[in-house]
Amino acid sequence: NFMGSSDIIDYAKKNGWYDETRDGSFIFKKVFNRPSNREPVFDGNTLRMWRGVSWLSGQKWEITADFPFSFKPAKKVTPEMLMSLLRDHYEGTPYEATKGYQQGSPNKTKFRTICTSSTINSFIACLNNKKPEPISTLVWLAFGKPDTTVYLPIYYGVEALPEGAGYGPTTHDYELFYQQHFEPKELATVKDRLLSTKVQLFGNLVEANYGQMIQVVKKDLSPVEKKYLTGQTNFENKFRKLYARNKIAAQKLLNDYLAAAFTQVENIYHRLLKSSQPS
């Protein structure tokens, strides 16, 4: 299932990208794709598309294939599958460019990988209207490049994000977002307290010595993510039962759950950054 804009064809016609007489049947990729004369492996997202379609469809595709607009995955898609995909650098393919992380960072190669050095954050949204409303939407959020950090579980129904998750009001304010993009003085004063800053600092350390430091990620950070993935069902069952009896107590349980996850990850980053400083 997917949703699309009702005027997607009219919009293309209005901009001169599609003419039914000239182009025939409407094909989304041909209409909205950016024309390019570059080799497919160096053409921005072609390799990314190839990797994602191959991974999820369970089929072998050529780089030059006419990829489908949509398809049925080979098996049920899980958050873990998408986390692995969003961390991918074409490992195990001819386009893995660092020989098992022995030749620099896989985020900075001649190929445009799925996870790159310019990735600011990453998320996976899980929607399920059969669950109680506060836990019906779960966002797994990585506060930096997903290959060097963890995805934290953030439920829609949490009353407030922990301190350090961000800065500013809890309501959408696009003008404020625009101003914060340029890091005003008031943001600079709190930046060191943000989890995203710690994630970025540690990510830079990993980038400088990827082959060795990615083992630190796997040893110290990955188990935390695994803990929350494997514990999700038990937590949600506990919440569901409590929510049916006492919504206020269930709300506190949800708030405390996120706060504990956040604190645990913050403490790990504090330790990792402290241990990386020259003695």
pLDDT tier at 45, thresholds 50, 70, 90: confident
What pLDDT is recorded for position 279?
64
**For the chain, what are the domain ranges?**
34-118, 120-279
Rounded mean pLDDT of 57-73?
92
- Give the tens place of pLDDT for each residue, 105-158: 999 999 999 999 999 999 999 999 999 999 999 999 999 999 999 999 999 999
Tell me if residue 129 falls in helix, strand or coil.
coil
The answer to whether residue 170 scores a pLDDT higher than 80 is no
Q: What is the pTM of this model?
A: 0.90
Give the range among 106-120, 165-179, 237-251 with minimum mean pLDDT. 165-179
CB–CB of 125/132 below 8 Å? no
- Give the tens place of pLDDT for each residue, 254-264: 999 999 999 99
CB–CB of 167/180 below 8 Å? yes
Nearest to 251 by CA among 171, 133, 165, 153: 133
What pLDDT is recorded for position 202?
97
Average pLDDT of the chain?
93
Of residues 74 and 175, more confidently modeled: 74
Report the alpha-carbon distance of residue 148 to residue 239 in Å, rounded: 31
pLDDT above 70 as % of the chain: 99
The answer to whether residue 65 scores a pLDDT higher than 80 is yes
What number of other Cβ atoms are within 10 A of residue 77's Cβ? 12
The answer to whether residue 96 scores a pLDDT higher than 90 is yes
pLDDT above 90 as % of the chain: 77
Report the alpha-carbon distance of residue 239 to residue 258 in Å, rounded: 13
What pLDDT is recorded for position 142?
98
What pLDDT is recorded for position 171?
79
153: CB partners within 8 A, 6+ apart: 138, 139, 140, 228, 232, 257, 258, 261
- Determine whether 181 is exposed, middle or buried from the number of CB atoms within 10 Å of its CB (0-12, 13-18, 19+): exposed
Q: Which long-range contacts (CB under 8 A, 24 or more apart) does 189-194 make?
A: 191/167, 193/163, 193/164, 194/164, 194/165, 194/166, 194/167
Rounded mean pLDDT of 173-185?
85
